[in-house]
Amino acid sequence: MSNEIRNLRPRSVWNKFADLNAVPRPSKKEERVIAFMIDFGESLGFEVIEDSVGNVIIKKPATIGMEDRKSIVMQSHLDMVHQKNNDTKFDFLTQGIEMYIEGDWVKANGTTLGADNGLGVATIMAVLESNDISHPAIEALFTIDEETGMTGAMGLKEGLLNGDILLNLDTEEDDEIGVGCAGGIDVTAEKDFKQVSTPVGKIGYSIVVNGLQGGHSGMDIHKGFGNANKIMNRILFDSFEKYGLRINEIDGGGLRNAIPRESRAVVAIDSLHESSFLHNLGELIRSIKLELKTTEPGLVISLTNIDTPKLIMDSDVQLGLTRALYAAWNGVYRMSPDIEGLVEASNNIARVVVKDGNIKICCLTRSSVESTKIDLAMTLRSTFELIGCKVTMSGDYPGWAPNMDSSILQLLRSLYESMYNEKPHVAACHAGLECGILGTNYPEMEMISFGPNIKGAHSPDERVQISSVNKFWNFLLEILKNIPKE
């Protein structure tokens, strides 16, 4: 990690970010970062609470003269998305993130950076450690497992927090004030199937789709990026229809909240059709690249001749699988009729695995409208049940309904306009923030979300803008100074 990062301004924030990024913190394996945060709070002499699910709360009294102000909850999540480039050797369970500076941006070497939501965590840590920042009473809430189920927010019980206002530091545009977000549900389809021996006369090929941008399956879903699972299925479907291609295994995508960047399939084809297969596939690849030339200029689809696999899918199962994946909805399902430019509902076909006689397909369905979320989930369920899959739904969490009349929104609007001589973009987002879940147990708490410019979240292209972090920090300090009286 470049020591130059620790000298960026505001130094208190960047130093805390560097400290945090030295601690491995994958979702559902946050033991080390939980201990790190508890040690940090106790070292400052503050009251520290670890709740029953692993969330950490650190309480700091108001500074002198601010005791009569409304109390605030500052909230960010401890876990980070773990994605890396295929050729990057990196162990997220043991290594700290390797960062570097490029112009006005901080990036990571071939992995996600963890700015989502590490910059929020680091900012709260800097406020807690400070001796010269005016602020009301603070309850710093660090939740776990936001990225793969929001189980931390879901497990937070009522009565642990007393704050009047929640500042969520998990927005990724520095001119945006977040007032709402989408809810989500995980849709998983599974099926065991019969494998059959590969007939004589077939040859093996490995097909790889990679070089895609990937990105956040909520915030980037409308950008027209390629989905490696859908591209791979298009290839398999076409070659099965025309040349009897048979599937041995598929390994595509990764986390539900990341648009799939890579997929690999092992297949078998008749040796007699090899030249025709290769010619036809070459034409299809050219068509796909032409379609995606603007959004996915780095797309690579490659074929490698390999040993013939010994087993392949039963042909009827393969027929159903390739059709179901073709039919399964991926991308934007509905735009909001009420908020211009907002995606209301979407689905990400995030993971497709075919191996050893088992099919597993993992999706993340999002919507800011509960009924639309369930409608889309039922669309997917019906698609996969038609081919005999067992479909389960889990991790259901609510959206956060906008309150355009909240006093904290009016404060942030006013401060932003006075500081930057322009109006902020007040918006709901198509990501899953924790505010909606937290609001179920704390319905009277006003909530708002903001943050610095973070691009490429949930992908190895993730980066955070240095100048934007300084802007975000100064905006936060003004907010803390101007929290109204009780």
For residue 185 the two structure tokens come to 């549900």
Closest CA to 119 of 429, 460, 464: 464
Tell me the one-letter amino acid at 85.
Answer: N
CA distance linking residue 427 with residue 111, whole number of Å: 29
175: exposed, middle or buried (C-beta count within 10 Å: 0-12, 13-18, 19+)?
middle
Half-sphere exposure of 251 (CA within 13 A, CB side): 7
The one catalytic residue among 30, 145, 146, 446: 146
Q: Is 461 one of the catalytic residues?
A: no
- CA-based nearest residue to 226, from 210, 239, 250: 210
Residue 178, phi then psi, degrees to nearest 5: -85, 130
Which residues does 451 contact at the CB level (< 8 Å), separation at least 6? 119, 120, 169, 170, 171, 172, 173, 174, 472
Task: Give residues with Cβ within 8 angstroms of 8, minimum separation 6.
Answer: 14, 101, 106, 466, 469
Are 267 and 359 a contacting pair, CB within 8 Å?
no
SS3 of residue 438 by DSSP: helix
Between CA 21 and CA 457 the distance in angstroms is 15
> What is the distance between the alpha carbons of residues 319 and 11, in angstroms, rounded to a whole number?
58
Token output for 422: 């322009």
Are 186 and 306 in contact by the 8 Å Cβ rule? The answer is no
Question: Between vectors from CA 482 to CA 481 and to CA 486, what angle results, nearest 5°?
Answer: 110
The one catalytic residue in 79, 139, 147, 434 is 79
Among this protein's residues, is 79 annotated catalytic?
yes
By annotation, the residues acting in catalysis are 79, 146
